[in-house]
Amino acid sequence: MMWTIVPPELVWEGVEREPKKLQQIQWHNAQVLIEPIDFGRGRVVQVLSTEPNDFLRPDLAPGAIINLGS
Amino acid sequence: MPFEEPNHDPQEQDPAAQQAALENIKELGQTEVPGPMVSRIHCINIVGQVEGHVLLPPRNKTTKYEHIIPQLVAVEQNPRIQGVLVILNTVGGDIEAGLAIAEMIKGLSKPSVSLVLGGGHSIGAPIAVAARHSFIADSATVTVHPIRLTGLVVGVPQTYEYLDKMQDRVIRFITENSRITPERLRELMFRTGDLMRDIGTVLIGKEAVAAGLIDELGGLHKAVTKLEKLIEEQKSQSNEPLDGPLWQAENAEILPVKDIPLGSPGGVDH
């Protein structure tokens, strides 16, 4: 049940479309949400951390590429 | 942590480092990044829609409660974290997820301060007031309006009585954790003339403070200073270290264990 100022038709717009596949990973002591690009690589979408210093890390900058093998 | 491009040979270290520095400037507007340090204040952002039981379509920017709740548990448990700053810029969202987050913030034994930037609308309001002290930026707004059935109803159809009950839950939470009275909050929620096609009130910065919803007008500096002060106060008040195992309610009377009458309110009854 929602309580929001956004009209319902906007909130539910595109509800039948397949959502973007995102993956949550642990990357050097931080939880990160990545968008897989190809095998073993992903683009940082969101940093799921409460540590403010994690947001200053260049390897976790929005759009940074994470190479899971490294 | 230095950014390292994998698979380049050592001679290319320098150009790679330069590239990384260039990218830092482009992405972050800075060239140096502080080394590994741990902040004693941690920060929780509530942005976009508060997402609860239903995954919202990808066009929505959402904050998921399954992310926030474990973070709050970590804040409570990690001895190095001494306080939490909750930053809100939300348009509202799922009521139960919002109330869950609000209750989690309220239940922290460590000091919490909230800061409303941009907007803390609808279910953002209980989250904002859940912190021990709440701030709102001068330009930020809080919109309060009635809860109603929206387009997609999940599960059984709700009745008007059910909507009323949900509204009461929210009103009770907000009024218990701020200075606003239930009557005044209801009046603001059902006021006409403020919103074009709707009833409700938009409270801008100091109006939210005047209404008693938010504690104080202020920005980041004020919020962090207040949080530091609350941390120091809590440290000086208790002999237990802040990261101690005992959680103690504010103003709770401390009795030696043998003096607690069995079966009395507050006693553990299994």
Contact A50 B38 (CB under 8 A): no
The answer, for B78 touching chain A at a CB cutoff of 8 Å, is: no
The pLDDT confidence band at residue B1, using thresholds 50, 70 and 90, is very low
Q: Is the pLDDT of residue A53 over 80?
A: yes
**Which tokens in the block code for residue B150?**
């929206």
CB pairs under 8 A between A and B: 121
Please tell me the pTM assigned to this model: 0.77
B43 → closest Cβ in A3, A12, A52: A52
Contact B28 A50 (CB under 8 A): no
DSSP string covering chain B = -----TT--GGGHHHHHHHHHHHHHHHHS-S----S---SEEEEEEEEEEE-SSPPPTTS-EEEHHHHHHHHHHHHH-TT--EEEEEEEEEEEEHHHHHHHHHHHHT-SS-EEEEEEEEE-TTHHHHHHHSSEEEE-TT-EEEE------S---SSPPPHHHHHHHHHHHHHHHHHTSS--HHHHHHHHT--SSBTTB--EEEETHHHHHTTSSSEE--HHHHHHHHHHHHHHHHHH-SS-TT-S----TTPPP--GGGS-TTSTTS---
For the annotated catalytic residues of B, the residue numbers are 122, 145
pLDDT tens string B217-259: 999 999 999 999 999 999 998 765 555 444 445 555 555 555 5
Say if CB B91 and CB B116 are below 8 A apart: no
So what's the ipTM on this one? 0.84
pLDDT tens string A3-51: 999 888 888 888 888 877 889 999 998 999 999 998 889 999 999 999 9
Residue B113 to residues B32, B94, B207, Cα–Cα distance (Å):
29, 22, 19
Contact A1 B96 (CB under 8 A): yes
The answer, for A26 touching chain B at a CB cutoff of 8 Å, is: no
Nearest Cα residue in chain A from B94: A2
A9: CB partners within 8 A, 6+ apart: B151
The pLDDT confidence band at residue B12, using thresholds 50, 70 and 90, is very low
The pLDDT confidence band at residue B6, using thresholds 50, 70 and 90, is very low
Contact B95 A9 (CB under 8 A): no
Q: Is the pLDDT of residue B55 over 70?
A: yes
Which of the two residues, B132 and B34, has the higher pLDDT score?
Answer: B132
| Residue B8 C-alpha, separation from nearest chain A C-alpha, in angstroms | 12
The pLDDT confidence band at residue B171, using thresholds 50, 70 and 90, is very high
CA-CA-CA-CA torsion sign (B99, B139, B200, A5)? negative
Candidate from B12-21, B113-122, B133-142, B157-166 with smallest mean pLDDT: B12-21
The pLDDT confidence band at residue B73, using thresholds 50, 70 and 90, is very high
pLDDT on residue B9: 44
